[in-house]
Amino acid sequence: MQSLPKLVLFDIDGTLLDHASQIPASTKEAVALLQAAGVHTAIATGRTPSDFTWVCEELGIHSYVSINGQYVVHEGAVIYENRMPVDLLSELSAFAGDAGHMTAYCGAGKVCVSRPAEPHLEAGFASVNLPYPEVDPDYYRHSPVYQGNIFMRAEEEALYISRFPSLRFIRWHEQAVDFLPAASSKAAGLVHLLQAFGVAYEDCAAFGDGLNDLEMLSAVGIGIAMGNGCPEAKKAANYVTASSSEHGIWSALQWLGLPQPAYLVR
C-alpha cells in the first residue's frame, strides 16, 4: 500500500467513464472519499470543457487540464490557455481539404467541424458519446482554437507529420487524430495546475488509458493505467489497475491508501 498523494488527476474517456460512457458508482464514491481526505482532485482530458461539464458536476471537481494541456482551470478560474495561430490553422485546413479530410476545431465553449455529417465522421464522435458538432468551416477565423481534429486513416498521417513539423498528431480513433502544438501535452498543461495548487509532480497520481496520457503518466509520482488502456499507457505507468468498467479507479485508490468508508469498517 502507498500513501495518498496530494493531487489525483483523472482522464475521462476510458478512465472515469465506463464502456457505457457513465461514471461507475464505485468511482463516484472513491472520488468523494479522496476529497473528504483532503486530497485535491482534477481532470486531465483531451476534451474541450463544454464536453465534460456534467462530469465535473457529478464529481464535484472544479479544476482541470483540458484540450490536452491547452486550456487549464484552477478552482473555476482559467489560469492558462494556448491559442493556435490562425495562419497555421488556415494552412492546415486548406491542406486537409485538398486531401479530402474533414477537420474539427476545438474552442473552450464548443467544437465546430468543416463539413456536414457522414457515417464514418459520426462514428468518431459517437465513440466518445458526443453528438455531431455544428458545421462552421471558418470557426477558427473568428474564435480562439486550442486544438483540432483531422479525420483520416493511420496510413495518411505521414502526409501531415512531414508538412507540419510544429504540430503533434495523437490518434484517438481509427479514423481520427488530434492536432496541437508539438510541445503541448497533458503533462505540459499540468505544470500550471501544480503551481496553482502548490504541489510537486512527485506528490501527484494520475489515471489514464490512451496515447495522450503517456507524458502525464510518466511525469507524475504515480502513473496508473486502466486495464482497458493501450499497451503504451500500461508501459508508461507505475501501476496497472482493473478496467474502468470493473472498479479500476476504486481498486487503485485502495492500493494508494484510500480510507474505507465508515460503513465498511468493522
Give tens-digit pLDDT for 19-61.
Answer: 999 999 999 999 999 999 999 999 999 999 999 999 999 999 9
Q: Which residues are catalytic?
A: 11
Q: In this model, does residue 105 exceed pLDDT 90?
A: yes
Domain tally, the chain: 2
Same domain? For 77 and 188 the reply is yes
Q: Are residues 204 and 73 in the same domain?
A: yes
Asked whether residue 116 falls in the same domain as residue 241, the answer is: no
In whole angstroms, what separates CA 265 from the centre of its chain? 35
Helix (H, G, I), strand (E, B) or coil at 204: strand
Residues 168 and 193 in one domain: no
- The pLDDT of residue 259: 77
pLDDT tier for residue 118 given thresholds of 50, 70 and 90: confident
* 72: in domain: yes
Angle subtended at Cα 22 by Cα 44 and Cα 38, rounded to the nearest 5 degrees: 50
Other CB atoms within a 10 A radius of the CB of residue 8 amount to 26
Of 181, 199, 233, the last residue of a domain is 181
Structural domain range at position 132: 86-181
Provide the mean pLDDT of the chain: 94
pLDDT of 262 reads: 53
Asked whether the beta carbons of 161 and 152 are under 8 A apart, the reply is: no
pLDDT tens digits for range 133-182:
999 999 999 999 999 999 999 999 999 999 999 999 999 888 899 999 99
pLDDT-based confidence at residue 263 (cuts at 50, 70, 90):
very low
Question: What tens digit of pLDDT does each residue of 193-232 get?
Answer: 999 999 999 999 999 999 999 999 999 999 999 999 999 9
Beta bridge mates, 208: 225
pLDDT exceeds cutoff 60 at 245: yes
In a domain, 2, yes or no: no
pLDDT, position 186? 98
Task: Give the end of a domain, one of 181, 215, 241.
Answer: 181
Q: ∠8-253-228 over CA atoms, to 5°?
A: 90
What CATH number does residue 173 fall under? Answer: 3.30.1240.10
Choosing from 126, 156, 181, the residue where a domain stops is 181
Q: How far apart are CA 232 and CA 221, in angstroms?
A: 18
The pLDDT value recorded for residue 124 is: 82
